[in-house]
Structure 1
């Protein structure tokens, strides 16, 4: 191989390696908080905040990072919100049925990656520009829903892995959101997991491989369902899951497990 070509290859490999090293690591057991509804409380003594990018300024993120707090940016990758500032960029052919639990959202046809991936990349770039270090890709589970499209788990796998490639290319970490039955497809690629009601619904063990690999599992249980939170916290501690108890709207109200 010519020397100049070898040097170029080495430089490219070094650049790729430095980017991978720059990606923030989220470790098993780190305390977290998750707020998607204003007003926010950003004064808590946690290692990680997961926030909606539309509710925070770059200065607020900079202040968190100055305190050593890691930040995750909420992005819906499987639905389109009525309030999304980029909603007009989504053509009608990728927009499906209304998400029953959230009437202000409609499902997206994640099979149409040629349309959606560039749009999601722009969303990820907004997160990066604000100083976020990672992505929460919400609504990864469109294949479970009555979306209006014949979406399968295979489509979800392809879409999520493509999103991971985009995020990692930007130096951002990205997590698995719910879909416990797909953990085997994602655990070696994605950087952490975010789960909802894994204790209440009995599937924390399905994602426990993340913590076994030293990666964080951030779990939220909900106050609108019956739960023995003390028992839940004991179970979470045994699996090194970072658990909080929250209301469904993810306001600033929260209960943390004891240390």
Structure 2
């Protein structure tokens, strides 16, 4: 209580100053917190951009223009195709088959799906429900995989060990382009680039080579770590210029076209017009081009 006749102006002035100090301090704290949050957000965005990874050493680099045959529908039962390289299924083929191909002077790529769950594979029970995304359109029994999952990566390491133990010279990991499809998992280009580079590093330490399957959007971020490209239908979709970066780098593009369409899988030859359309694809100069049935059985024609 203030005595009569005594001014309260000094106390009121100090009280006002104190309130201003508290208010300014609170504002400074708020600005600092917002700045940190914004900085973290920008950092997160930057980290999610695809990043190029330095290449890891590998022994075998096939030459651009190498010939190849791809057959992944069943166990290899025909080696009559005169090709430098055979691309065959990792699960269906034995070490003895691969050894025989080596004796015949061929190199062997072992195919497996690195980005999709397949309900007929031997290790299918090892995947968790949380690893699985949307169905692959047009491919019954397949679902997109969460390539950021530690469990998925553990399974892929086991597959790479199998490829090494069977004597594969390289691996052909398919379906790494989930980011470009309705995957149901929120996968991005950055996820794909990180995963492909991780796969390459793990492949190389097992003394095998690796190529990029399709996924043209991430080529700039992974090409130094790749030894080749496997591309499907760049001629049909007018995308071959994208994959020509591998030729420019002295690395082969194993190029597959399906001139018979999605539903015809037979042993009949393609028409002259179909062959002309494939072999004259814009931008595919220097590619190792083959024509195949969509089911990738042993039927093949070359340009």
Coarse TM-score class (shorter-chain normalised): 0.7 to 0.9
Of the three residues 242, 245, 249, the one matched with 2:291 is 245
Task: Show the counterpart of 1:151.
Answer: 187
Distance 1:37 1:244 in 2: 16
Task: Show the counterpart of 2:227.
Answer: 191
TM-score (norm 2): 0.74
Q: CA deviation at 1:32?
A: 0.4
Task: Show the counterpart of 2:92.
Answer: 55
Unaligned 5+ segments in structure 1 are 1-18
> Over aligned residue pairs, what C-alpha RMSD do you find?
1.9
1:27-56 CA distance string (max 9 Å, x none): 110110100113632222100000002222
Matched, 1:20 2:66: no
Matched, 1:218 2:264: no
Higher alpha-carbon Rg: 2
Distance 1:39 1:61, change over 3 A: closer
Q: For structure 1, which segment, 203-212 or 222-231, has the greater mean C-alpha deviation from structure 2 after superposition?
A: 222-231
SS at match of 1:20: coil
Task: Show the counterpart of 1:254.
Answer: 300
Q: CA deviation at 1:75?
A: 1.2
Of the three residues 38, 44, 68, the one matched with 2:105 is 68
Q: CA deviation at 1:59?
A: 1.1
**Higher relative contact order, chain-length normalized (CA < 8 Å, sep 6+):** 1
1:189-232 CA distance string (max 9 Å, x none): 11100000011111111011111221110010003349732343
Distance 1:179 1:237 in 2: 17
Task: Show the counterpart of 2:141.
Answer: 104
Unaligned 5+ segments in structure 2 are 1-55, 262-270
8 Å contact 1:192–1:217 — kept in the other structure? Answer: yes
SS at match of 2:217: helix
SS at match of 1:149: coil
SS at match of 1:74: strand
Task: Show the counterpart of 2:27.
Answer: none
Distance 1:223 1:125 in 2: 35
Distance 1:251 1:161, change over 3 A: same
Of the three residues 88, 99, 106, the one matched with 2:125 is 88
TM-score (norm 1): 0.86
